[in-house]
Structure 1
């Protein structure tokens, strides 16, 4: 099993997970992909490297072996490297389940909210020039500060993605859901739910880095969000979060 390329924060997060009776979702960036030439948005056609494929499979197996959970559901960006990451993680998890005589096939449900345009961009013609001018980091900082045309309000955009995760979250004990997306989306969500107005390069999620999330509450609009990111467990009261949007 090869986890050398896995960000160390992810292994540390395993120790911070709640009891296995509490279902969780791993909201993750895709695995290691081909390197892009130049600056800006990574093209949709960039594929996982052989090392990235091996990592995704190994990480899927490790999660099952070390969290006391079973993959019950999976959503993914429609971009191939995300779909492949999800499929390989499930494949790795299945290999463990086969040894336990407990296998089943998990459908990968493609979701437009996990890619751009889709998550935060409303009008790509308005937003695209700013991305080209500012690059990924500058663009997401502008989005977090609600400073771009053609974009959702940051709280609205983040709430849309969080509600999707809530609605696809495991409903039974020992459940694990996978949600595979992209760096820009995860970086923005972490900043907004953490109340940060500035993202630095060191805050940017690495490939195959993500956050574990879970919810307490019978409906999204009245729930408590909890998440683990880089060694810290944090929480957010969703009603208060949504109220921030209404007063802007």
Structure 2
């Protein structure tokens, strides 16, 4: 029998992590879309590590991209297209049994905004430029401050409608799909050169969710593929991932609506 050696196993690339995330996400969304037909709850478990995997991939991607501004712009446009695409699809179909609240682009954009703020803060500290330090702090705190402002506006009936629409365009931490969990992105970015710290952060978050009785603790299973990441990009197909996310959700939604109403 041929002996297994470390040199023969090359680990997982960024592409591999994305494919794994997509497969798990697809299973999770089958549960989401077909709950009215009795889809078993255990299908939801497959999706618990997905956000963590994509958060890690975004940290790697943001660290190595040639243009961080363009990287952020793509995520922002994805966030807007996903928001309004889901809104108008639901209005057109009128299938209220399933609500399209998915928008991982919003989570990733908020995370990249905070990572960009960390870069500005670091550069300002190194060059002793107060302006950059202040700008970095503004970017880091912006998603938190906007969350507080939007929640305050939504608590007032006269400003609630305007706040909801403004929230579609503004990155607000508490209005992301994964809420406070998005903070893992800037935290993992700070530890980008220390994989064990990144895995420890994921483990601590998992322990917190376990203590709350949430199945989100299963995010801990993202640690294994992340630990096996070899630092390589692998295959490209960047645009595939940007298109696949909204399209598979919308297609599953339409299939679910058709089956439920026929």
- Establish whether TM, by shorter chain, passes 0.5: no
Larger Rg: 2
Of Structure 1 and Structure 2, which has the larger fraction of its residues in strand?
1
